[in-house]
Amino acid sequence: MKKIYYFFTQTWIGSFGLVFFIYFFIGQHFIVPSPSMEKTLLVGDIYIAKKYSYGVPIPRVPFLNIPLFPDFKNNGHIIVGDGPKKGDVVVFRYPKDDNQYFVKRCVASFGDEVIYYDDNLLIHSENKNFMLGKKTIKFNNKIWAVNPYTKVGSNYSKNILDSNNSSFVQLLNSKEPIDMIKKDDPNFGIYFYKKIKENEYYMVGDNRNNSYDSRFGGAVNYKYIIGKPSFILMSFQGNERIFSSIK
């Protein structure tokens, strides 16, 4: 049996088969096209994403992006697994155009509530462990974590009282559909609110001033999840980044 396997892998058919098996089920490389994830990922970084981190997604033909198997269960996966955890950097197909691949950070999941206000990202979660050790404020009789991902790569550490920012104004004036409810509170001012549904994950770029993410494109259903970035394979921003892990 070992001889047969060895012989098979030495043929061009076997070599291609092994490469495609790895590409379809184990890992895939992606290139970062925008600064939306600075400083976690920089423009031009080439990274490897593990495709088995959240189950195994239905493989697609390279370049044509055609699924190899029908999606009988409408969950986008041939093997179902646990979805992303809050704080994970995730690769996914953009829900409004599944030919595009995005990489963002999962900031909220089922049952969580999200507020975007004056460049601040506020998360309310019933998971008490998530809320521990984070800067919080009380609003509408709930405790909200303020910018909880600043220690894991985000560029942001804005003060909740700072209203002189560009991205919030950009969000207010955006011509794109906003997947958040606009609200006005006499004590809190204008803000955007979202509660995450089951099997959905809210993805936001670490560099929020330059990120087209779930605030505009909507929460990401599990069926669009591809995998979890593992390490940087190549970078034009310095050799010290090569083979560094992505967190």
| Residue ranges covered by each domain of the chain | 108-221
Under the banding of pLDDT at 50, 70 and 90, the label for residue 3 is low
Q: 220 pLDDT exceeds 80?
A: yes
Q: What is the pLDDT of residues 152-172, one digit of tens each?
A: 666 654 554 444 555 666 676
Residue from 36, 167, 211, 214 carrying the catalytic annotation: 36
Name the band, by pLDDT with cuts 50, 70 and 90, for residue 24.
confident
Distance CA 89, CA 106 (A): 6
Q: What is the mean pLDDT of the segment spanning 74-93?
A: 96
Active site residue 138: no
**pTM of the full structure:** 0.86
> Is residue 81 a contact partner of residue 54, using CB atoms and an 8 Å limit?
yes
For residue 143, what pLDDT is reported?
A: 94
pLDDT for residue 160: 46
In the set 51, 86, 104, 223, the catalytic residue is: 104
Q: Is 104 a catalytic residue?
A: yes
Mean pLDDT lowest among 84-88, 115-119, 170-174, 227-231:
170-174
